[in-house]
Amino acid sequence: MTASPHSGSPCPSPTPLRRARARPRRQHARVRTRAALSHALPRPLEPILTALPVDELEVLRTHLDDTLFVSVLGRLVPADVVASSPARAHFLSPLVPDGGVVVGAAALWVHTGRMPPEELTVSCTDGRRTAPSASVSRSRLPARDVVTLAGLRCSSLARAAVDVARTGPPALAVEAVLLARAAGLGRQDLGMALTGCAGADRQGRRRAQGILDALVAPGARAPDRIR
């Protein structure tokens, strides 16, 4: 006890402070630097080169579907996989039977990348009536109406356009001719392809001719090709 300087009454002695006990430090397991960094390194990725299965599509499904994917033959395909004519031809090749020629909307899509087909139609000259992955057409195309792109035989752009104009839905029939015009084809190119539609392919020729008359004036030049 100590006396107060003013009252002379004793004051309690100050309580000595207790030292805080130091907590024992946790011992962390040592991790090698290489092992720690391995978790931060990007894992190797494999590019998507074909249509995706349903389970993977569910994982990737976003509001960007229309930008990232193209619906071809009822399957969503990465847009960059079918971004060029050779790429589109390569995509369809495994589905085409030997000796088959891709015709109609599928051929138009191979050439232009527009109007992706819901069905694959092929012309076969070996007499077959069915194919596992395509519908078979009885069309017999003249040699001038058949071209080869990246190993795929398909009808020329002019023939594909007039075939869709002959038998496709009205809106698509008109768009097919407009696509051919935008690609640089003139009335003479389309007219020659239309005259090659003989036999069973004469169906719809009058309608296709009417579309040509309405959209392409006689004597009109082929427009500059859109790049």
Residue 138 pLDDT: 78
Residue 226 pLDDT: 42
Q: For every one of its 227 residues, what pLDDT tens digit does the chain have, with 9 covering 90 and above? A: 555 555 555 555 555 555 555 565 655 556 565 555 555 655 666 666 666 676 666 655 555 566 788 889 988 888 999 999 999 999 999 999 888 999 999 999 999 999 999 999 999 877 666 667 788 887 889 999 999 999 999 999 999 999 999 999 999 999 999 999 999 999 999 999 999 999 889 999 999 999 999 998 775 555 554 43
What is d(CA 108, CA 157) in angstroms, rounded to the nearest whole number?
6
Q: CA of 77: how far to CAs of 64, 111, 112, 135, in Å? A: 13, 17, 17, 21
Residue 9 pLDDT: 55
Residue 54 pLDDT: 66
Phi, psi of 213 (to 5 degrees): -65, -35
SS3 track for 157-183: HHHHHHHHHHHCCHHHHHHHHHHHHHC
SS3 track for 22-90: CCCCCCCCCCCHHHHHHCCCCCCCCCCCCCCCHHHHHHHCCCCHHHHEEEECCEEEEHHHHCCHHHHHH
Query: Exposed e or buried b for every residue in 147-157, given b needs 16+ CB within 10 A?
Result: bebeebbbbbb
Q: Global pTM?
A: 0.70
Residue 65 pLDDT: 64
What is d(CA 130, CA 122) in angstroms, rounded to the nearest whole number?
10
The answer to whether the Cα torsion of 51, 76, 139, 87 is positive or negative is negative
The answer to whether the Cα torsion of 135, 136, 141, 143 is positive or negative is positive
Q: Where are the domains of the chain?
A: 82-215
